[in-house]
Amino acid sequence: MVNRRFNSMALITGFPDFWKLAYPDARLMPDADTLALESESQDLILHMLALHWANDPVGQLIQCRRALRPDGLFIAACLGGETLQELRGCLGEAEISVTGGLSPRIAPMAELRDLGGLLQRAGFALPVADMTTLTVEYRDAWHLMRDLRAMGETNALDARLRKPTRRAVFNQAADIYAKHFATPAGRIKATFEILFLTGWAPADSQQKPLRPGSAAQRLADALATDERPLRD
């Protein structure tokens, strides 16, 4: 969609074996707190499904911004706040019912509006934040949790329960899941909200907003309506 050729690309990910097949010439690096990026060394940086794991998301964005050459492009994809909302609710309800308490099990994830604001704070020009929702079906909650473990998306919260969870909690959570989130085919659904962020390193060649009051056409004329002054 971007009619541009990029010659120096860095790709930040926790799954290098997957991405190097699609981008064999990219510079792959882990999603560490301190990124191995030199100042103004790249004209394209991709941050792929790792930003929601960052201890300091703003710091990640700032580091990527500094590593871009003028008019370089940054693209990120990460999981958003609606991800696994079904599993979060079922585990919470089951744990309260079985143990009488509640422990954090799914990390809080950023909302679309929040990440759009972070792009601006990091100094990107022309920031855009967008999202899409993927609904995935599983045989049951056990297969969903097994898949999450294989993805490396298990519970890493510092305040998580430090002893094994009673199996009765998971059994009841699976029953609640099947009762409230079943598909017509008898499976269960799981929501994954994917957030997409794009921003450019500022450059003099980029489009700039017009100076306030410099418009040559009236909005009322464009809308073919009468302009009515507001009351004091």
Q: What is the CATH number of the domain that holds 162?
A: 3.40.50.150
Report the distance separating Cα 226 and Cα 221, nearest Å: 8
**Residue 29, domain member (yes or no):** yes
For residue 179, the enclosing domain spans: 9-205
CB 166 within 8 A of CB 120: no
Q: Give domain status of residue 213, yes or no.
A: no
Residue 189 lies in a domain: yes
Residue 50 lies in a domain: yes
The answer to the question of residue 230 being in a domain is no
For 26, which DSSP code? S
229 inside domain: no
Residue 100 domain-assigned (yes or no): yes
Convert the pLDDT of each residue in 98-154 to its tens digit: 988 888 777 778 888 888 888 989 999 999 999 999 999 999 999 999 999 988 888
83 inside domain: yes
pTM for the whole structure:
0.80
Total domains, the chain: 1
CB 138 within 8 A of CB 188: yes
pLDDT digits (tens, 9 = 90+) for 61-98: 999 999 999 999 999 999 998 999 999 999 999 999 99
